[in-house]
């Protein structure tokens, strides 16, 4: 069994690898956060996160054997992240419950010695059964206190397990969102992430005694600078999960064309869309989405069996194909997810510059590795 460490609140470790900054890089599929970005974040002491969603899209046999291609690529990306990380920080996967390959991807990553499994886009009620105790840290992504309470109860009752940490993702995040379109469209109804932090904090803190360890809470959605992070911590979070800001890094795994689309994009181009996954999502209103709006449907030409609930005969367009076109930089045919803070993404930089700007004092205060 591996040694799982919950050291100073918010900082986690497994075996001899520890976090030294309270930052998780949010998983970004398809192919936006793979081994290079995840490894670069871990190298600086955070949790770098590989998205498992169709991560084999560049494999030669992806079209014919997507499942095998994805698992092979996941193995390679975990190796790559490990090498880049210099044994600092933690390497995680982001696995979406809504994906067909959810169980297999989690099991494959655990076999490969992944440090943490972070799971959302649905309630990850079965996650403890896929990750043997002591093998990796497990964490649900929730959108509020109700979902957090439900997960904690199910995990406790069914598996006698507790999350090693929790991510609360608010309405300013990119990708799929755990709120209804009505809530997102009406500013008066849209919850504030700081309130969600307080709400989830209240739900998880009573479980810490039963768990016998702290359950750090990371807040996601719209965090950009030090002030944002300080506000989250003030509200009761132990750290933050950030994604959109890391798209503008040289280490981000997407093509430069993808990064340029996001850098050029503004909040005026953003829209809350109903994704084929069945959840709302925040994305740029690209020609693909305009065409779907006009024509009602672009029938998929091919199916890589990605989403559990997808009905190929009815789906408005193939989300896998659209996300793959995006990550390759195809503006016309791609689906580009983004967080609400897109206006602040204006130039390229290195992961290390962002982390030094956000956490320099902290890195000086907490030398790597953290003494637990």
Contacting positions for ligand FMN (CB under 6 A): 26-29, 32, 51, 53, 94, 96, 120-121, 141, 169, 172-175, 220-223, 241-244, 337-339, 341
Q: What is the closest distance, in whole angstroms, from the C-beta atom of residue 342 to ligand FMN in the complex?
A: 9
Q: Which is nearer to ligand FMN, 96 or 114 (CB)?
A: 96
Q: What is the closest distance, in whole angstroms, from the C-beta atom of residue 339 to ligand FMN in the complex?
A: 3
Q: Which is nearer to ligand FMN, 5 or 251 (CB)?
A: 251
Residues 6 or more apart whose CB falls under 8 angstroms from that of 154 comprise 125
The region, left, alpha or beta by phi > 0 then psi within -120 to 50, assigned to residue 332 is alpha
Do 240 and 228 meet the contact criterion of CB atoms below 8 Å apart?
yes
Q: What is the closest distance, in whole angstroms, from the C-beta atom of residue 369 to ligand FMN in the complex?
A: 26
Please give the C-alpha separations between residue 163 and each of 107, 113, 167, in angstroms, as whole numbers.
17, 18, 10
Query: Residue 47 and residue 60: Cα distance in Å, rounded?
Result: 30
Q: Which is nearer to ligand FMN, 5 or 232 (CB)?
A: 232
Q: Which of 3, 2, 39, 23 is nearest to 366 (CA)?
A: 23
Burial pattern 271-288, b for ≥16 Cβ within 10 A else e, equals ebbebbbebbbbbbebeb
Burial pattern 135-159, b for ≥16 Cβ within 10 A else e, equals bbbbbbbbbbbebbbebbebbeeee
Q: Which is nearer to ligand FMN, 8 or 123 (CB)?
A: 123
Q: What is the closest distance, in whole angstroms, from the C-beta atom of residue 160 to ligand FMN in the complex?
A: 26
Q: Which is nearer to ligand FMN, 141 or 200 (CB)?
A: 141
Q: Which is nearer to ligand FMN, 5 or 179 (CB)?
A: 179
Query: Residue 296 and residue 277: Cα distance in Å, rounded?
Result: 16
Q: What is the closest distance, in whole angstroms, from the C-beta atom of residue 280 to ligand FMN in the complex?
A: 13
Q: What is the closest distance, in whole angstroms, from the C-beta atom of residue 340 to ligand FMN in the complex?
A: 6
């Amino acid at each position: 069994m591996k040694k799982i460490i919950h050291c100073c609140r918010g900082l986690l470790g497994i075996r001899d690898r520890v976090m030294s900054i309270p930052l998780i890089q949010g998983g970004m599929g398809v192919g936006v956060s793979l081994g290079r970005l995840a490894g670069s974040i871990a190298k600086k002491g955070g949790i770098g996160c590989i998205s498992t969603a169709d991560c084999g899209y560049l494999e030669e046999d992806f079209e014919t054997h997507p499942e095998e291609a994805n698992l092979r690529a996941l193995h390679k990306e975990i190796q790559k992240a490990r090498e880049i990380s210099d044994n600092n920080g933690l390497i995680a996967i982001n696995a979406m419950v809504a994906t067909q390959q959810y169980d297999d991807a989690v099991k494959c990553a655990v076999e490969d010695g992944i440090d943490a499994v972070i799971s959302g886009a649905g309630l990850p009620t079965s996650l403890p059964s896929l990750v043997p105790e002591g093998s990796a840290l497990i964490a649900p992504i929730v959108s509020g206190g109700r979902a957090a309470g439900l997960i904690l109860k199910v995990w406790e009752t069914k598996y006698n397990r507790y999350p090693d940490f929790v991510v609360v993702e608010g309405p300013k995040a990119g990708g799929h969102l755990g709120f209804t379109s009505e809530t997102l469209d009406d500013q008066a109804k849209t919850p504030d992430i700081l309130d969600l932090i307080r709400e989830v904090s209240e739900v998880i803190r009573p479980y810490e005694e039963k768990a016998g360890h702290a359950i750090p809470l990371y807040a996601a959605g719209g965090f950009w600078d030090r002030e944002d992070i300080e506000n989250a911590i003030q509200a009761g979070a132990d750290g933050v999960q950030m994604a959109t800001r890391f798209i503008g890094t040289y280490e981000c795994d997407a093509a430069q064309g993808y990064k340029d689309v996001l850098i050029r994009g503004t909040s005026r181009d953003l829209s809350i869309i109903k994704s084929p996954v069945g959840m709302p999502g925040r994305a740029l209103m690209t020609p693909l989405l305009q065409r779907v709006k006009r024509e009602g449907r672009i029938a998929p030409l091919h199916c890589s069996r990605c989403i559990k609930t997808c009905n190929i005969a009815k789906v408005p367009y193939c989300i896998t194909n659209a996300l793959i076109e995006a990550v390759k930089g195809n503006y016309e045919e791609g689906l580009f997810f983004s967080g609400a803070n897109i206006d602040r993404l204006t130039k390229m930089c290195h992961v290390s510059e962002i982390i030094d700007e956000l956490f320099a004092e902290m890195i000086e205060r907490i030398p790597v590795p953290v003494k637990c």
